[in-house]
Structure 1
Amino acid sequence: MSVSRIVSSSSLASLLLCACTPAPPAHPDDICSVFHEKRGWYHAALRQEKKWNVPFSVPMAIMYQESGFHSNLHTKRTYLLWFIPWGYVTTAYGYPQAKTDIWQDYQKATDTSASRENFSDSLDFINWYVTNTKKQARVPVTDGMRQYLAYHEGWGGYRKRSYASKGWLMTAARKVGARANVYAAQYSSCESDLKDKGFWSWLF
């Protein structure tokens, strides 16, 4: 096989891989823009808000903080002998940056084969986690800041206040709380505009 043929095949494979990986929303700080761009996300968020009785602004803010809405995000790589790629620092992956063990707990609890690369599955996971945080740590589902601390540190870590000595984490948690409030306010201004108004709204 010629070198040019190999290069062309490699380029094609890269293009196909990129095409299969959904791009994050263009304006993630604006929930109205996010939902206008990604109508499937809008419908998933409303369905799950009704299912879990959790305002979508909180899990969406958590997801934004964790992955920036990137579907296939890994944590930092580790290396063998300083240059050979050798896995990742943790097993956190995908939209929710959920570690493999807690993701498997979620799959077992909900009897699902959900994927961390699927937006709806990932949002459902975060809603499941938020709901359990309310049950286990009595954190209101509307409290984005404290919910994020429990999400990041785990339920045991949250009860032990492991976050108290982590200034960077407290800063991130405050950002999540503020963003959840901003998302809620933004949505109130575009809620009626986002509502489906007939068959053609699915096409445009």
Structure 2
Amino acid sequence: MKKFSLLLLPLLLSGCFSSPAIEVSNICTLMDEEVTWYQGVKASEKKYGAPAYVQLAIIYQESRFQSDAKPPRGKLFGVIPWARPSSSKGFAQATEGTWDWYQKSTKNYNRSRTNFVDAADFVGWYISQSNKRSGVSKTDAFNQYLAYHEGHGGFNRKTHLRKNWLIGVAKKVENNAKRYKKQLKQCRARLDKNRAWSFF
């Protein structure tokens, strides 16, 4: 029953962040500077069959590549800082419940939401889960994001159809994924030559 309830848990990802965003006009430049990040999404792509460009588009939307991203606090009476709307945290803005599901499913108990490589592994895993549980193609950034945001239960119930704003966000993710795919195609050979570490 607990596993079933986890499947219905929406991620409740806010896409908000607490520190300055990393603006990305060309993903190749960022991946060339952050070699371990590129190696992380590449490893996740190989493990789960989740395209690097889809992973990166989702992570960008959720945190703008900020490790300390969290939803902004609400305000009591419009003035007093109050609780955050969800437990979302880190690069992937995964909630505690969904992160716990990921850790138990993969046995990756030492992973951290504030570590980019771990977040990429999570996103790749979640993309593969969306393919299995909701029939979403791993290359379909638009519907992958909707399933990511609403959770598989919500996506399967089509809760996103009542949220025009979310459809708009998913289109942004889709457009970024297309742009990243084109850019990575041009620089992937160069990025593959970068060697900052050898954990994979």
Q: Give the alignment's TM-score, normalised by structure 2.
A: 0.82
Larger relative contact order, structure 1 or 2 (CA cutoff 8 Å, min sep 6): 2
Alignment partner, residue 103 of structure 2: 107
Alignment partner, residue 161 of structure 1: 158
String of CA shifts for 1:5-54, please: whole Å, max 9, x gaps.
Answer: xxxxxxxxxxxxxxxxx9865x5231111111111111112112111111
Alignment partner, residue 93 of structure 2: 97
Structure 2 counterpart SS, 1:107 = helix
- The size of the alignment, in residue pairs, is 179
Preserved contact between residue 146 and residue 170 of structure 2 (Cα < 8 Å):
yes
Alignment partner, residue 32 of structure 2: 36
Q: Tell me, in whole angstroms, the C-alpha distance in 1 between the residues paired with 2:26 and 2:172.
A: 14
Structure 1 position 81, deviation (Å)? 5.8
Question: Is the radius of gyration larger for structure 1 or structure 2?
Answer: 1
Structure 2 gaps of 5+ residues are 1-18
Q: Tell me, in whole angstroms, the C-alpha distance in 1 between the residues paired with 2:117 and 2:40.
A: 6
Matched AA of 1:39: V
Structure 1 position 157, deviation (Å)? 0.6
More helix by share: 1
Alignment partner, residue 11 of structure 2: none
Aligned residues: CA RMSD? 2.1
Q: Give the alignment's TM-score, normalised by structure 1.
A: 0.81
Alignment partner, residue 67 of structure 1: 63
Identity among equivalent positions (%) equals 37
Preserved contact between residue 146 and residue 155 of structure 2 (Cα < 8 Å):
yes
Q: Tell me, in whole angstroms, the C-alpha distance in 2 between the residues paired with 1:23 and 1:65.
A: 14
Where has structure 1 moved over 6 Å in runs of 4 or more? none
Preserved contact between residue 36 and residue 196 of structure 2 (Cα < 8 Å):
no
